[in-house]
Amino acid sequence: MHGDLNGLRSIVKSVKDSDSILIFLGDYIDRGPSQVEVFAGLLNLALRFSENIILLRGNHEPPIGLEPFPHDYPYVLRERFGGLAEKLYELSSEAFNKLVLFAIARGEAILVHGGPPTHFEEMEVDEMFSCTDKLPRMDIVEEILWNDPFENVINLKYDIETSPKTICNYCPNKCLRTFITSCITSLGKYSRGVT
């Protein structure tokens, strides 16, 4: 979304069925003109319609130490709210930490902002799918938020190589058939999601 309030309004208006579930794939802030309104609006929707709205964490909703560049959200807060900016960013960071890294749709598709991690332990897999405040190892979080799931592609920012095959190894007993990410456009079983 990157602060695109008109885009968010368009998505919400397009929902015809009150039973629909909307899964947003991250990157709500930074760059856009209405990043505060988009993030606040999404949090409001998620609180009001908790059964129908799922917010994933993107690389622009960073844990401390994984801030993207540019990351102008703190400056926008300072510009708009002055002395309250630091507290608002602290509250925003708490909200970022509540966002999930993955969603599984109908037991067939996995949705993530970036790509699958290149390595993991069974315990970390369970942690990533649980709804707790505890994050898995930071290197795993970094890859989930930043990896691009192409064969033989290296993430230039972090020098990480990953591939779609990783997802098959990632959840062998979950029968997942589709991988949806916000970071690529591809035909077939790997799809770009709407963020």
Q: Which residues are catalytic?
A: 60
Question: Burial level of 14, CB count in 10 A (0-12/13-18/19+)?
Answer: exposed
Maximum Cα interatomic distance, the chain, rounded to a whole number of Å = 50
Q: What is the dihedral of CA 71, 162, 102, 194, to 10 degrees?
A: 70
